[in-house]
Structure 1
Amino acid sequence: MHQLTVIGLGAGDFEQLQMGVYRKLQQAKKIYVRTMDHPVLHELVAEGIQLESFDNIYEKHDDFRPVYEEIVATLLDYVEQEDIMYAVPGHPLVAELTIQLLIEAEKEGKVNLKIEGGQSFLDPIFGALRIDPIDGFQLVDGTTFSAHEVNMHHHLLIAQVYDTFSASEVKLTLMEKYREDYPVTIVTAAGSVGEKLRTVPLYELDRAAEIDNLTTVYVPPVANRDEALREWSTFREIISTLRGPNGCPWDQKQTHESLKRYILEEVHEFLQTIDEQDDEHMIEELGDVLLQVFLHAQIGEDEGFFNLEDILEAVSAKMIRRHPHVFGDITVENVEEVNANWEKIKNEEQAIDDTTKPLLNGEYRAASSLQTSYNYQRRAAKVGFDWPTTDGVWGKFVEEWQEFRVEVTNGTNETRLDEFGDVLFTLVNIARVYKISAEDAMLHANRKFARRFAYVEEQVMAGNKDFKAYTFEELDAFWNEAKNQEGE
């Protein structure tokens, strides 16, 4: 098998080229280069060294990936005939996808690969910017990176920013986390005699004239907490501080038990914003729900039982495990098959042993008696303990209602409580049969009552300003006005 030698041209001009690299280039009969757009290559051509570039392949494709794949395929064809040398900008193993593709080909036994030096652009970049990477830095590809990957507390270097369009894409991505006037530095030809640095506000990034294939964009770490409010680690730090020795007395004394009612309240308030279709309010209420999650995670960490990473690992693993049609090789045709798979996998995980574990274990919900009732009846129905028709469900409700009415007249507080509970239980079962969430229905009824009663209160305040001054019939008339305004 012939050998494909890869060599790096460095990040600077001809004067920065390493002597060993220069000698190898001189000795080569012919050199294939990814692109001629590098200052070293013009000097080599002037010395009579034969070069063949792949610049024409760039013109055939709209995306970089197919460009690099075609370059690699061409190199593999050439190396079948003879030993060849392939030269790339910088260091071959830094931000060079064609080399990564060649390494994959080597693992498959398709090529005998030899990779040799060449200074990467990182050293001159660090020197030009006067930064120490030990503080933490990220190197990302400007054509593919996502704002979700960016850590605002690290030095951020963005390569592959080669023209106005790519700079515009980078700008829009960064604006998902950074303010629009955040300072960014455009570094061009770092380490060469033509080195240029220009710091501009983020919104001007795509208007700079210096952008070319030797450009790297630098985004410095945020200077303070208030500039990193879109960073997950910032929120975690805030919660940790609130619970810490110098934090808030209220947050410090909270427990999982004391927070139970708050998480339920916040979820209900968020559900209301969904009904109202209020996006701004939805952001606020989702934040309140997230606050509860982080508080419970911090309490778990403070007590030494679990932390946020444990929660993330558990839920991520569950989502991957229960979606084999997405992350595995299972095929599904519709939502019904997805749900069937979900239940099957869930039952396998729980490994329920009918002889040792009660069926209703794990179905109790301390925060919602309605949800607990629904869970119990749903689980019982799955094993056949259910009315065969809806007539049986309605008949049971009528029976319990009649028993409750008898206790209202002749019973005690205890018997009334017992029979009224039976009535509610049968109502939840009716909701289950007709695929209605009893919890959502109750929330909806409460909101409707509050909305209509607010109208009644407005009318009272606009009149005599005292409820006692009105008869029930007058108040009920206000209520009916509110209903009529809602079209009911």
Structure 2
Amino acid sequence: MGKISIVGLGPGDYSLISQGALEALSSSSNVYLRTKKHPTVEQLQDKIQYTALDYFYEKEDNFEEVYGQIAKFIVEKGKNEDLVYAVPGHPRVAEKTVGIIEGLCIVNNLELDIIPSMSFVDAMYNYLGVDPAEGFKLLDAFELEESYIDISTNTIITQIYDSFIASNVKLKLMEHYDDEQEVCIVNGAGIKSLENKTYVKLYELDRKPELFSYLTSLYIPKGDKKLYNTVHDLQNIMKKLRGPSGCEWDAKQTHESLKKYLIEEAYEVVQAVDNDDIDELIEELGDVLLQVIFHCQIGEEEGFFNLGDVSSSICNKLIHRHPHVFENIDIDMNKFDKTWEELKKKEKGETSVTEGLQRIPQFLPALTKAEKIQYKVALVGFDWDNIGDVCKKVEEEYKELLDECKSRNIKYIKEELGDLLFSIVNLARFLQVDPEEALNLTSKKFIKRFKFIEDNAKAMNKTLEEMTLEEMDKLWEKAKFQ
């Protein structure tokens, strides 16, 4: 069983390699370099024998696969022999292979020793004359899409090898920083003969391709103009509104008092969609998001939950309900609705279909609730075979309603009217029509036609009360063709 020693080569200047790293490199005949594309390697050539692993970059499609394959290679070698694995900078700073190797060593019970040298981050701050104690965030250009951009702290972005990568970085950063934000392109930090820095506006970042190489990093000082375009920004605003120097109205709200606003905002989102108005949709979705953040802030103040709990809950739910995406489990997509309901039952600890029906919110619009009930029982086979049977049921309920109308017993009339509406919702489900939407369209159509009647009445210098029903019926028929 061998031993793996991981050493840092420093930022690039020979004087910045640690004594421990030099001793490990010079005393071993079994040295592997993640890459020989590092200025220090040229100065070590006469002092050490090594094998460069750059060829892995040509074998794999992306960096994650490269790092994984290099790590596996080193660990397999280390099972049988002592070796030294050398990486640029400090082994603990922005070196993905080191973390993977460390994990594999634990699994394989291999001895691991990590010998540091100065990191390129230290070299950058020394060169820029900035104190890292002010705080900073270190990001990888290849992982920027998934990273949280915090403009309230200094940021360093590594691996900006060329203007194409710089362009992608620029576009991502412009979602968070002002276009005029000053940034610094830093080359060769820690290598006296190569060090240079160029300050440019963010929008100009990719306009000088000659500035980019494998030694390029980007330094972005704290943003000086807030764009307010993250959920974190909204959280901070809500904290201030409910804080000691905030707004009295916001501070006194509760989960109970906010209920109606969430419902109202949700309906306004639907209206924006119906209006096909993108600006309105953006605004109304923002109002819905505000309600979510409002409730989370109250939950955090009361000590019961926060936004992290809410986010964790929905993320875990989505992962659990999509095993075909996250666990590569084969699912018959023709039966996905049934699978979805079964997964929901499992999450809720339900053992019967009835429990799922009882869980449907009481305050849903009646048509929507009826549709949900029918949908859930249909999944377990309690359904009509064809639309003809559904239509017969509608006719049957209509006749029963007429019979009760003759008796004038309001209790039974209400019951039969409910049965008729329920059967019509079932018909809508078979026709794949949203009953709420259908009824809203009819209401909208009714208002338009009634307006036609009222406008014509005014043109005749009449009020609606002065018109006969026959006159209004004639105008109603004309309205159908408007």
Q: TM-score range by the shorter chain?
A: 0.7 to 0.9
CA drift at 1:90: 0.4
Q: Does 1:17 align with 2:17?
A: yes
Counting only pairs closer than 5 Å after superposition, residues 395-434 of structure 1 correspond to structure 2 as 395-403=395-403, 405-406=405-406, 420-434=417-431
Sort the Cα spacing of 1:122 and 1:296 in 2 relative to 1 into closer, same or farther, 3 A.
Answer: same
CA drift at 1:140: 1.9
- How many correspondences in the alignment? 473
| Contact 1:30 1:49 survives alignment (8 Å) | no
Counting only pairs closer than 5 Å after superposition, residues 137-148 of structure 1 correspond to structure 2 as 137-146=136-145, 148=147
Alpha-carbon distance in 2 for matches of 1:169, 1:266: 36
Sort the Cα spacing of 1:458 and 1:99 in 2 relative to 1 into closer, same or farther, 3 A.
Answer: farther
Instruction: Tell me the alpha carbon deviations over residues 436-470 of structure 1, each in whole angstroms, 9 at most, x when there is no partner.
Output: 33223233334444566677888899x68987699
| Contact 2:29 2:50 survives alignment (8 Å) | no
Alpha-carbon distance in 2 for matches of 1:455, 1:179: 52
Query: Paired residue for 1:213?
Result: 214
Counting only pairs closer than 5 Å after superposition, residues 52-451 of structure 1 correspond to structure 2 as 52-59=51-58, 61-72=60-71, 75=74, 83-109=82-108, 112-131=111-130, 133=132, 136-146=135-145, 148-193=147-192, 194-208=194-208, 209-223=210-224, 227-328=226-327, 330-336=329-335, 338-352=336-350, 360-376=357-373, 389-403=389-403, 405-406=405-406, 420-449=417-446
Instruction: Tell me the alpha carbon deviations over residues 186-217 of structure 1, each in whole angstroms, 9 at most, x when there is no partner.
Output: 22222342433332222222224332222221
Instruction: Tell me the alpha carbon deviations over residues 150-208 of structure 1, each in whole angstroms, 9 at most, x when there is no partner.
Output: 23333322111122222222222223333333322222222342433332222222224
Q: Where do 5+ consecutive residues of structure 1 fail to align?
A: 483-488
Instruction: Tell me the alpha carbon deviations over residues 396-449 of structure 1, each in whole angstroms, 9 at most, x when there is no partner.
Output: 431354147547xx577x887666555434433433454433223233334444
Sort the Cα spacing of 1:167 and 1:308 in 2 relative to 1 into closer, same or farther, 3 A.
Answer: same
CA drift at 1:231: 1.5
Q: Helix, strand or coil: the match of 2:358?
A: coil
Sort the Cα spacing of 1:136 and 1:15 in 2 relative to 1 into closer, same or farther, 3 A.
Answer: closer
Q: Where do 5+ consecutive residues of structure 2 fail to align?
A: none
Q: Helix, strand or coil: the match of 2:164?
A: helix
Q: Helix, strand or coil: the match of 1:198?
A: strand
Alpha-carbon distance in 2 for matches of 1:70, 1:346: 39
Alpha-carbon distance in 1 for matches of 2:113, 2:137: 27
Give the root-mean-square deviation of aligned CA atoms: 3.9
Sort the Cα spacing of 1:293 and 1:66 in 2 relative to 1 into closer, same or farther, 3 A.
Answer: closer
Alpha-carbon distance in 2 for matches of 1:447, 1:387: 31
Instruction: Tell me the alpha carbon deviations over residues 240-267 of structure 1, each in whole angstroms, 9 at most, x when there is no partner.
Output: 3333444344434444444333333322
CA drift at 1:142: 1.0
Q: Helix, strand or coil: the match of 1:366?
A: coil
| Contact 1:161 1:211 survives alignment (8 Å) | yes
| TM value normalised by structure 2 | 0.81
| Contact 1:404 1:420 survives alignment (8 Å) | no
Instruction: Tell me the alpha carbon deviations over residues 29-71 of structure 1, each in whole angstroms, 9 at most, x when there is no partner.
Output: 46432333322222223x4544443345445555333444554
Alpha-carbon distance in 2 for matches of 1:273, 1:67: 47
Alpha-carbon distance in 1 for matches of 2:431, 2:248: 47
CA drift at 1:380: 6.5
| Contact 2:181 2:223 survives alignment (8 Å) | no
Alpha-carbon distance in 2 for matches of 1:465, 1:88: 91
| Contact 2:5 2:83 survives alignment (8 Å) | yes
